[in-house]
Structure 1
């Protein structure tokens, strides 16, 4: 099969392309750097022409109130191009529990992206993943101040990007789900605990202070970002760190 992977040069997209090509498919990466702009529409018709499947892994450049406009415009442009090109399956990557955190602009934007896809003309699959292990350092940087990192005790279930990419590739190569496939890491941590584990591994002398209101995840209530019933990926956090 032929796949157009939009956002195919990024962390997940580049690995999805590799998985699909290794499986004998033809997966072509598309991004701003290859002349494809999901907001202006430039290059989209050419990118999806002849593709059986579109995998959309583009992401909003911000996590704030501007993110809904990005997902609305990009999805409308991509779906129009995909319908014109005869695409038979459209796949996106979303977030476990995304519809349970309406307080976050970015999460509402991802729900909007899902809803546009569901209402669109093309059979679809949505892969929802938990928080990427690769993003833990960035999460800590948001609330770092000198020798202190403030983190809430929000439960999260980190997953390695390589496991996310493998799952996205497998779903994309299958029949449209007309629904959601949840994937998660094999372990659940409190975010503040995960911060301490990470700093200790890097011999980083900073101290993690538990702050229920710190950062983006301070607005998350309960364990909605975890899913014990999800398909569990194999990579454990300690193994990923090593």
Structure 2
């Protein structure tokens, strides 16, 4: 099966390409570095030509309100190219609970991306994942100073990028879901506790202060970022840190 992986040189995309090729498929990575631009449309027709499946893993360069325009334009361009190329399955990666946090511009943008795909002309699949373990360092940096890191106790169910890539690759070569598959890490932990675990394992002696107003995830209430009914990935956070 030939799979065009748009955003195929990034954190998830590069691993999706590797997994698919290792399984005997023909996965081709496309990105700005290979001459493909999802906003201008440059190179899109050629990228998806002859592909059975398109996997779109591109991401907005910002997480603010501008992300809405990014996903609108990129999805319109990609769906038009995929339809012209006769693509039979279109896959995107989204976020568990994205539709439950309208306060976050980026989450609203991801819901917009999902809705554009679902209303489009091509059979589709949406893979929703919980927060990537690889992003914990960035989350800690948002509200940190020399002595402390302030984090809310928001429940998080972190998943390793490698596990996300494996799930996306599996969906890509299967029959279109016509809906959503949720995937998550194997354990739920409060974000402040994840911060303490992370700093301890890295030998960082800063103190984590529980602050319900700190950072982007402060607006997230309850278990929005977790999904007990999701397919659980195998990698635990402590093992990933090791």
Provide TM-score, normalisation by structure 1: 0.99
Q: Deviations over 1:36-57 (max 9, x none)?
A: 0000000000000000000000
**Across the two proteins, how many residue pairs are aligned to each other?**
242
1:161-219 superposed Cα distances (whole Å, 9 cap, x missing partner): 00000000000000000000000000000000000000000010111111101111000
State the Cα distance separating 1:153 from its structure 2 match: 0.4
| Structure 1: gaps of 5 or more residues | none
Residue 30 of structure 1 corresponds to: 30
Q: Where does residue 184 of structure 2 map in the other structure?
A: 184
The equivalent of 1:202 in structure 2 is: 202
Q: Structure 1: which 4+ aligned runs deviate by more than 4 Å?
A: none
- Specify the alignment match of 1:18 in structure 2: 18
Separation (CA, whole Å) in 1 of partners of 2:58 and 2:165: 14
Q: TM-score, normalised by structure 2?
A: 0.99
Alpha-carbon offset, residue 147 of structure 1? 1.1
Partner of 2:115: 115
3-state DSSP class of the match of 1:11? coil
Task: Give the Cα–Cα distance (whole angstroms) in 2 for the partners of residues 209 and 241 of structure 1.
Answer: 21
Q: What secondary structure is seen at the aligned counterpart in 2 of 1:145?
A: coil
| Alpha-carbon distance, 1:138 to partner | 0.5
- Which structure 2 segments of 5+ residues have no match? none
**Alpha-carbon distance between aligned partners in 2 of 1:75 and 1:145, rounded to the nearest angstrom:** 38
- The RMSD of aligned alpha carbons is 0.4
Deviation per residue, 1:88-126 (Å, 9 max, x gap): 000000000000000000000000000000000000000
